[in-house]
Chain A
Amino acid sequence: MRPRLVISLFLLALAAPAAGEVIHQERSLYRDITVEQNGPRRCLIFNVHRGDRNQTCIDLNEPERLVFNYTRMSFAGLLLTPEPESILVAGLGGGSIPMTFGDLFPDALIDVVEIDPAVVSVAREFFLFEETANMHVHVNDARVFIKRAVLEGRKYDYIMLDAFTGDYIPEHLLTREFLEEVKQILNPDGVLVANTFSTSRLYDHESVTYQRVWNEFYNFKLPTSGNRIIITRDGALPPRGELVGAAQRLAESMEKYSIPLLEYPARMSTRVDWDMSRRVLTDQYSPGNLLRD
């Protein structure tokens, strides 16, 4: 009796993720894209066959509300740079991060870089993503886009790197040289926020690399999220008291998006919890996809 119960529970668990209805599916040059609808919740899923987590979800009844912790956590950079006038987001996904920025800062110039044109059209068609006079999407590789920005002397107040959640890790976006280019396009008071890996050997390599380029950074993790967000800027980080003050000032404006900003400062740590003897990732040595196990 009992084994049968266990088996049926197991089968139920297997069946559960497939409960939503697939409303769009396509194979792009870079990945399989699936859009699933489950009641009011609509999710963009990459590489569904591998059982990967949802990439982005929106609640159609309350589209401003951010559904996932990692998307909410991406706004913790506002604690350091509360009023960005120019924003760069690398990696579009369903577009909730740039849309939220656009909603928060209608006058800010927002550039979004996305390598996959199919993701751009899916975000437009299914996730209410819209370009505006101030928000532009560039279909390009983030490395190439940022190198050109360096050349043209373009700088940003808020740089969000969110290109690491697909099936294949873009190894050229993990290197010391890349981060040095990012540093060159960051304004003096600007902030860099990177959504990166919280598990595997890559965590150590990546931490060592960020440390090399930025000296120190906030390591931002929540127990309920598998993501690790790196937050840093050029120069010394502010004391935590300043973050708490900023959180108190900004918390109200974040409620609409379900961003619990007040909880964040306590979770942002500069403590070294990685193996510092790992090799720095460089353009010469960056086997990110072999380090993810």
Chain B
Amino acid sequence: MKGGSSSPLPRPVVASVAFVSGFCIMTVEMLGARIMAPYFGGSVSVWGSIITVFMLALAVGYLLGGRLSMRNPNALVFASFYVSAALFSLPIILFADAIMRPIFLAVEDARYGSLLASIVMFSVPTTLLGMISPYSVRLLVESQEHSGQMAGLLFFVSTIGSAAGTLGTSFYFVLWFEVNRILWGAVTALLIAAAIILLAGYMRGSLSLRVSSHET
């Protein structure tokens, strides 16, 4: 990396993709209840299952993302979180019935059925999206004294993104589109975010391949 002061990605890029990840997390979460209602009903416990799984997955994601940020934080790894979150969201679109049907058959109690189905469908993509937060902080932090400020900025934009994703999905998207189309929209948004990261990283000359070739 040239000099200690330049981060691998421009601040506006990191902030915008953090917004996208927050947006997508809540879009999927809001749709989760709709996806599971045909099998597990619309009771409060279904919401309980979804929120529990999202919270746990995000918690694990924060831990893993923080751990990964210690080793040569770079744009390629950052983009790969978005790509893999998009890929691991595909089963929600393509195999939701195939996943929920056997769970419905095997588990009589809709509470545990919905919990299990949430784990299977939502835990992996949500963990991956959770990894983005600490990693993006690391990408922008250039000095210890600014670390809190950067963390604050990124929590701000990603949480604003979550609020927008919640409102947009529950007020408008479900009125305009089918559930799966909204999910395809989220997958596309994640892939576009990954493309933007790679492009910006390339333009900064900070893609990990180039960095490591400089180092060797």
Contacts and interface: CB of A to CB of B under 8 A. Distances in A.
B178 interface: yes
A151 B175 contact: no
Interface string A264-293: 000000000000000000111111001100
Contacts of B44: 29-30
Interface in B32-55: 34, 37-44
Q: Which of A29, A285, A286, A290 has the most CB of B within 10 A?
A: A285
Interface size class of A (residues with CB under 8 A): 20 to 34
Given A30-B44, A290-B174, A140 B37 contact: no
B179 interface: yes
B110 interface: yes
Contacts of A142: 41
Contacts of A171: 34, 37, 42
A118 to B, nearest CB: 12
A283 B104 CA distance: 17
Contacts of B174: 285, 287, 290
Chain B interface main SS type: helix
Interface in B76-134: 104-105, 110
Given A140-B110, A285-B178, A287-B175, A172 B38 contact: yes
B177 to A, nearest CB: 8
Contacts of B37: 143, 171-172, 283
B180 interface: yes
B175 A290 contact: yes
B171 A283 contact: no
Given A170-B42, A171-B37, A172-B42, A144 B178 contact: no
A29 B151 CA distance: 37
A143 B42 contact: yes
A290 B38 contact: no
Contacts, number: 57
Contacts of A131: none
Interface string B176-188: 0111100000000
A177 interface: yes
A151 B177 CA distance: 31
B41 A144 contact: yes
Nearest to A178: B38
A290 B171 contact: yes
Interface string A129-162: 0000000000011111001000100000000000
Contacts of B43: 29, 115, 141
Interface in B1-60: 34, 37-44
Nearest to B178: A284
Nearest to A283: B38
Contacts of B40: 141, 144
A140 B179 contact: no
Contacts of B38: 143, 147, 172, 175, 177-178, 283
B179 A143 contact: no
A282 B178 contact: yes
Contacts of A283: 34, 37-38, 179
A132 to B, nearest CB: 25
Interface in A154-197: 170-172, 175, 177-178
B41 A141 contact: yes
A124 B144 CA distance: 65
A175 B34 CA distance: 12
Given A141-B40, A144-B110, 11 more contacts: A29-B44, A115-B42, A140-B41, A140-B110, A141-B41, A141-B43, A141-B110, A171-B37, A283-B37, A284-B178, A285-B178
Interface of A: 29-30, 115, 140-144, 147, 151, 170-172, 175, 177-178, 282-287, 290-291
Interface of B: 34, 37-44, 104-105, 110, 171, 174-175, 177-180
12 contacts: A141-B40, A141-B43, A143-B38, A144-B110, A147-B38, A147-B39, A172-B34, A282-B178, A283-B34, A283-B179, A284-B178, A284-B180
List 9 tightest A-B contacts by C-beta distance, closest first.
A141-B41, A172-B37, A284-B178, A144-B41, A287-B175, A287-B174, A290-B175, A284-B179, A285-B178
